[in-house]
Amino acid sequence: MKTAPNTTMNLVLQGLPGSKERIERIAALTAPTHRTWLSEHALRCDDISFSPALRQTIEVAAHAAQLDTTYMMGVHKMNEFKLVAMDMDSTLITIECIDEIADMQGLKPQVSEITEAAMRGELDFSESLKRRVGLLKGLDASALERVYEERLRLSLGAEEMLAAVKAAGLKTLLVSGGFTFFTSRLKERLGLDYTHANELEIVDGKLTGQVIGTIVDAEEKKRTVERVCVQLGIRPDQAIVMGDGANDLKMMSISGLSVAFRAKPVVREQANVALNFVGLDGILPLLT
């Protein structure tokens, strides 16, 4: 986030339950004109005198205290937004599905290495996906069900976040470079409005090592957010977009509020909000 030196801003400090004393300690560094507790473990410091030096001091201290920091001009309200768009792997859920599928083939280290490089933005996503899916050729399709049942877990705060945004009337979109096998099940389980992901080709009960149709890469993710916004009759800046990897940056760039969740450095640096310690429900105190 680029900000002119010596600007007056608001700062939200938040942590996990039990962090109130640590929040108080970091807040004291900011000399706020006013403080508002947004929840038991989220505090807004109003009209702090922002400077790069102060920001660095606060961020180093907050990180050491396992607190998340969000700087804002003014305040955001939930009713400013109409859509929440989420990445799936390592954002809405805690795993990278393709890595766990590869584990069934004894290939997790090889596939994880490619996944990590792609998420850091070091490899073209489409090419990396083709390479990874190709390594899965011949795997019994039942492995997908095993990954869903045995390994897939929702990220911290996911259900609380979704309940709150849906209660406020926002629509939900899950857009993933992962696979329809998982997004379709999550859509039904969580009551999501829209999903879009890659489809694995399965022939005679086995993966062929191919993806059917257009690969959902960074550009396709962005187009998907734009398409859903058109369908809803809203502007992209009325969308909140959450992600963790380099392939999420394009869809995050058109949003009104971009959220980096447990994200790679390249994503944290470009997002409006970075949540490193709290759950996905960490966006809720920012929308009061």
Give the pLDDT confidence score for residue 215 in this predicted structure: 96
State the pTM of this model: 0.93
* Per-residue pLDDT tens digits for 130-183: 999 999 999 999 999 999 999 999 999 999 999 999 999 999 999 999 999 999
* Per-residue pLDDT tens digits for 58-87: 999 999 999 999 999 888 899 999 999 999
| Residue of 208, 151, 152, 211 lying closest to 179 (CA atoms) | 211
Catalytic residue numbers read 87, 89
Question: How far is the CA of 21 from the CAs of 15, 16, 26, 58, 220, in angstroms?
Answer: 10, 12, 9, 15, 44
The tokens describing 119, both together, are 């998420």
The 3 state secondary structure assigned to 107-126 is CHHHHHHHHHHHHCCCCCHH
**Which residues in the chain come in under a pLDDT of 50?**
1-4
Give the pLDDT confidence score for residue 286 in this predicted structure: 96
Q: How wide is the angle at C-alpha 65 spanned by C-alphas 60 and 67, nearest 5°?
A: 85
How many Å apart are CA 13 and CA 201, to the nearest integer? Answer: 45
Looking up tokens 């680029």, which residue turns up? 2
E-assigned strands of the chain? Answer: 8-14, 34-39, 42-49, 68-72, 83-86, 171-179, 194-203, 206-212, 239-243, 257-261, 273-275
Structural domains present in the chain: 8-75 (3.30.70.260), 80-287 (3.40.50.1000)
193 by DSSP, 3-state: which? coil
Give the pLDDT confidence score for residue 181 in this predicted structure: 98
Looking up tokens 């800046």, which residue turns up? 237
Residue 222 · residue 251 · CB < 8 Å: yes
4 by DSSP, 3-state: which? coil
How many Å apart are CA 99 and CA 136, to the nearest integer? Answer: 10
How many Å apart are CA 277 and CA 229, to the nearest integer? Answer: 30
Give the pLDDT confidence score for residue 5 in this predicted structure: 52
Looking up tokens 């600007």, which residue turns up? 7
The sign one gets for the Cα dihedral 100, 106, 107, 113 is positive
Looking up tokens 């105190």, which residue turns up? 285
The tokens describing 95, both together, are 């795993």
Residue 44 · residue 27 · CB < 8 Å: no
Task: Name all contacts of 145-151 with Cβ < 8 Å and 24+ positions apart.
Answer: 146/104, 147/95, 147/97, 147/100, 147/101, 147/104, 147/182, 148/181, 148/182, 148/185, 151/95, 151/100
- Spatial neighbors of 191 by CB under 8 A, at least 6 apart, are 162, 166, 172
